[in-house]
A and B are shown apart, each in its own frame.
Chain A
Amino acid sequence: MRRLSFACFAAAIVVVQVATGLTGTGYLLTQLTMAAWYSLVVVGLCLLMGYAGQISLGHAAFFAIGGYTTAVLSSVNLLPAKSALPVRALSAVGLTIGGTDPWGSAVLRLSPWISLAAAMIASAVVAYGIGLPVLRLRGHYLAMATLGFGIIVYRIALGTPLFGAADGLSDVPSFPLFPGLCLDGTRLHRVSSYYFSWFVVLAVIVLIVNLIGSRAGRALRAIHGNEAAAQAMGIDTSRYKLHLFALSAVIAAMAGVFMTHYTGGIGPGETSVMKSIRYVAIVAVGGMANLWGALIAGTVLNFLSLRGLFGTYDDAVFGAVLIAMMLFAPDGIVRKKRI
């Protein structure tokens, strides 16, 4: 059953791309790719909210931590320090990239793989740091704490010159993933980037489905089912919640890194309160514990939003979605399937 879902998903990815190719609507792939990165955040959040019952109203902050880390690190010019030992060592293993900046002068940059690793580590550190005091809280307290965390990151992004303040950071170089596969927003790499993004999503889903069916996943479901009983069965609930929070943060950061390289920049808007709330809205629509539902909802809603369908009512749509979901379909639109 699982294998079938994965295979269908993979097939759908290919079918969509071929369809756009045949109908000459290849430009849709760009928004579909971006929707993939946003859906990655949603999938991680669905895991957190649906399987551990933890609400996070500041998840966009982790996306931003990933994006900003990679933007800053991959823009650092190592050319002046070319002969220093660390730089030479990195070059020897192929972790530096030569290139030119927009004004034509040569630069030597860190490979984005390094900034990806750094971003994931940074987000994990922040998640553990925030999670330790905050995950002990429940209900409204937890919600407000995560909201507050999101606002702090937003303000720091908005107010710090290093992060480009209100304008954000741009001129983020492309991400040469493998020989022949480069992640950026150019038309040349549009199809390959599309496939890369959706197969990353598929890979993450595979990992998550594995996790849910494993001992650790069962422990998480037990915590959500009845925390006191879970503790009585020997599960260290605080630790599990913390690990899960960190996992969902790392997934979000990863999405942030890829998105930033794809679009070539990142701004404080990515970590705004509304962005965080959108992610929560999408998880609510998909059904809190329904991974596929969250994915479908995420893709559809983000794609439509990116295409500008909602116009100036973008935020209002998500607000209305939130309310409608809670009033009429608190378990989500897509009927819950057991994964």
Chain B
Amino acid sequence: MPLSLILQYLFSGITAGAIYAVIAIGFNIVYNTTGIINFAQGEFVMLGGMIAISLGGFMPLPVAVAGAVAITALVGGLLEFVFIRRMKNPTVIQMIIVTIGLSILIREAALHVWDEKVHSLPYFTGNEISSLRIFGACLSPQVLWVLGTCAAVVAGLSLFFTHTAAGRAMRACSADRIGAMLCGINARTMVTLSFMISAAIGALAGCVISPITSTTYDCGTSLAVKGFTVAIIGGLGNSAGAVVAGLLLGIVEAFCISFMPMSYRDVVVIAILLAALSLKPSGLFGSSASHALKEF
């Protein structure tokens, strides 16, 4: 395979992987604060893209994107407030079922609000045919937007969690909820905040990837599964691990496509998920001992 082709696949993989990583980080944020896996995470990505596309019709692109992120964050917070908060001492199965139900409702609502067609956001800079040449590989500038945005998200979150009071409060909640409450932290607010943040970053990811992969009302499920795979492989709750795992997974997936029919693309990722769950559920960077002690 010529170098330029390899680079092509590599960049394609890194791009997809970066998105998976951001989704995985969204999972991690909610998981760390609440112990819940939010199956609706993928739908936030879809919502971000769809809302931005609608807003983009009568607003400049950056405003549309910002608006989409804000609205989706509100949706995330609302979901938590209306549904998740109501559940008293839910079992794991009940939480799983509720979040799955929520993801279905969001998806169906999207289907009826928009339609089943394929949409995409315009390219942030340039258009479909503009490309940069790097070592012979053709790259859309949007790829740089994706990578840049994801890096910004990771950096921003890292700063948020270490240097802001709210971020530290959230970390306290995830370490020891009761202890945090004893320190005057309102755990319920932290939970809502965690949903809003993960919805926001999901939406941002959805906007930035939309020009490349397009957005449909049901693109959320498969993204959620891949994001979850990345979260597991990186170690559930470990966001640095999620980044590494995301990039790896994206690259593996991209190279598998080079010799496999397109329809089997999802199969690769899921097979990796199943293998990871069977062999090392604590992920590449997690420790088996602490994993065994986990609540579920």
Chain A positions near chain B (C-beta within 8 angstroms): 49, 53, 55, 57, 130, 133-134, 136-141, 143-145, 147-149, 151-152, 155-156, 158-159, 273-274, 277, 280-281, 284, 288, 312-313, 315-316, 318-323, 325-327, 330
Contact = CB atoms under 8 A, between A and B. Distances in A.
Identify the interface centre among B87, B109, B111, B270: most chain A CB within 10 Å of its CB: B270
B264 A155 contact: yes
A155 B260 CA distance: 13
27 contacts: A55-B93, A137-B277, A137-B281, A138-B92, A139-B92, A140-B296, A141-B281, A144-B228, A144-B232, A145-B273, A148-B229, A149-B274, A151-B225, A152-B270, A155-B264, A155-B266, A156-B267, A159-B261, A159-B264, A312-B111, A319-B103, A321-B101, A323-B83, A323-B101, A326-B98, A327-B86, A327-B87
A327 B83 contact: yes
Contacts of B21: none
Given A313-B108, A323-B83, A49 B93 contact: yes
Contacts of A322: 97-98, 100-101, 104
Contact of A326 (B97, B103, B105): B97
Contact of B277 (A55, A141, A152): A141
B104 A319 contact: yes
B101 A134 contact: no
B178 interface: no
A326 B87 CA distance: 8
A326 B94 contact: yes
B125 interface: no
A330 B261 contact: no
A20 B100 CA distance: 37
Contacts of B91: 330
A316 B105 contact: yes
Contact of B90 (A133, A315, A326): A326
Contacts of A145: 273-274, 277
A73 to B, nearest CB: 23
Contacts of B8: none
B92 to A, nearest CB: 4
A134 B232 CA distance: 14
B278 interface: yes
Given A159-B261, A330-B90, A319 B277 contact: no
Interface string B103-135: 111011101100000000000000000000000
Given A49-B93, A159-B261, A326 B101 contact: yes
Identify the interface centre among B87, B225, B274: most chain A CB within 10 Å of its CB: B274
A53 B263 contact: no
Nearest to B275: A133
A152 B83 CA distance: 30
A147 B274 contact: no
Contacts of B277: 133-134, 137, 141, 144-145
Contact of B271 (A147, A152, A274, A313): A152
